[in-house]
Structure 1
């Protein structure tokens, strides 16, 4: 394996762990806004208040085990796929922003392979509200595997995850690189850490604005007690129509505010951790 890819895998793992630790509480609020029964909450702040009052502070970290266990693989795959995609698109290191977006889209498609099961079990855990019958992660995994197997259980929501990840990471990487280049024009190669944090935040906001309705669909599909029926185009379009019928067009953007708020520290910490680790490994290995 190319040593550059190894370095990207390692740096991606560090960035992914930072993302989960920083962003999980607001991710829980976002997911509950998307999947909670109608009328259960009045809005994101009510979700936060009720969660803290009824379940305690640690409930905001429900479902963290799934991404924390899987994040090394997910982010390693993402960053490595992005690096490989850039090298496929152009042999030159400085790509145009459209080329960056294309590489991000390719990386997003590859990333869905691991992101789908990680998201699946995170959503299932976040959709438990502190009742006596709430299940542990291993019980949820065992139940999905025994009832529905790998394709309809473990990988439920895979196709809508792909549909989400392609525009999401095209927007993410294009916005991140645009911001980073603006700072590089001012500071040169020695971009300060705060500028990396700001660039990561810009990318995180672009991520959600590029894909949010499909994230709502993904969460609802993965929270169902049974797998969706029909081909992916049919069940995704059916879910979109159902959301609009239930809540109107704004229903496609339930939980967007906590997502955007989460993206600022989470994406910032992810890319700052990745870039710092990548620079360290560059100095260590020379590539």
Structure 2
């Protein structure tokens, strides 16, 4: 997500110098372009994301020896489709998230530029627009990431051991047991909000810096539902989760699953950017010709 959002800066900067019909087109083109970008990221990146989340959340208890073992074990025991567990929430969600993010980002930059139309946006104005877009989309991103993480670590696929039949069933049970706020655990570590706050850092550098936060986020999101009778979650907050990881696994616990994450960031974001720019430029050309 970091690379996709940071590379939209050039597109939005170009938008800020336009007016009339061209500006109206640019306000709307982010929707189909964002949808295409979200689908592309899911297809390319979700299998390695599943490996990443499983390594992050297994807690160093010896389930997997490493990323390759996790990948092979998952395919061998659960089939290739298991790599796309939890794909439904991001399939729907990432298309919405990318559309909301890129459309909000573009419109905020247009709004800010209206105060001084004869000069380019300043760096702090780009930062404000990015922060606004990140905060807005975090309300969509957090429930999606939470449902995805819990489904990705559901190892039992049949019988009584299967806790959830799908994302809808999972969401219903969480809300029934703990109320709507259960869908917003670890909201402070939304991928999109963190990416925007990080600014223009590239995807690989971004993950190197922010990865411990992602581990904490997924540990909190993927923790097993204690049920209606027992209201006590294993981790009752970010600090408690961080202390537990450090105490039981030391510093290396904050970098579990880093390799698949690092490897997926370039092709996933590169493909997403390519699709976004292609759909965006094609859409603009179509509307202008008509």
TM-score, normalising length: structure 1:
0.78
Does 2:96 align with 1:82? Answer: no
**CA distance in 2 between partners of 1:5 and 1:283 (Å):** 14
Corresponding residue SS for 1:22:
helix
Q: How many residues are aligned here?
A: 254
Are positions 1:61 and 2:84 aligned together? yes
Match of 2:93 in 1: 70
Tell me how far apart the structure 2 counterparts of residues 239 and 89 of structure 1 sit (CA, whole Å): 39
Corresponding residue of 2:246: 244
Alignment RMSD: 2.8
Residue 269 (structure 1) aligned to one of 232, 246, 271: 271
In structure 2, what is the equivalent of residue 125 of structure 1? Answer: 151
Asked whether the equivalents of residues 212 and 253 of structure 1 are also in contact (C-alpha less than 8 Å), the reply is yes
Q: How does 1:113-192 map to 2 (within 5 A)?
A: 113-132=139-158, 133-134=161-162, 135-137=164-166, 138-152=168-182, 154-161=183-190, 164-171=191-198, 174-175=200-201
Q: Secondary structure at the match of 1:128?
A: coil
Alpha carbons 2:37, 2:273 under 8 Å: kept:
yes
Identify the structure with bigger relative contact order (alpha carbons < 8 Å, sequence gap 6+): 2
1:16 aligns with 2:38: yes
In 2, the alpha carbon distance for the partners of 1:25 and 1:256 equals 14
Residue 245 of structure 2 aligns to a residue whose secondary structure is helix
Shift of 1:97: 5.9
Q: Report the Cα offset of residue 10 of structure 1.
A: 1.7
Q: In structure 2, what is the equivalent of residue 50 of structure 1? A: 73
Counterpart CA distance in 2 for 1:103 and 1:251 is 34
> Given the alignment of the two structures, is residue 109 of structure 1 paired with residue 135 of structure 2, yes or no?
yes
- For the 8 Å contact 2:38–2:95, the answer to whether it is kept is yes
Specify the alignment match of 1:5 in structure 2.
27
When residues 29 and 247 of structure 1 are mapped into structure 2, their CA distance, relative to the original with a 3 A threshold, is: same
Give ranges in structure 1 of 5+ residues lacking alignment: 176-202
Q: Judging changes above 3 Å, is the alpha-carbon distance between structure 1 residues 114 and 229 closer, same or farther for their aligned structure 2 residues?
A: farther
Say which one has the larger Rg.
2
Q: Tell me by how many angstroms 1:20 deviates.
A: 0.3
Structure-2 change in CA distance of 1:246 and 1:32 (3 Å): same
CA distance in 2 between partners of 1:98 and 1:255 (Å)? 34
Distance between the aligned counterparts of 2:69 and 2:87, measured in 1? Answer: 21
Determine the C-alpha separation between the residues in 1 that align with 2:105 and 2:205. Answer: 17
**Whose helix fraction is larger, Structure 1's or Structure 2's?**
1
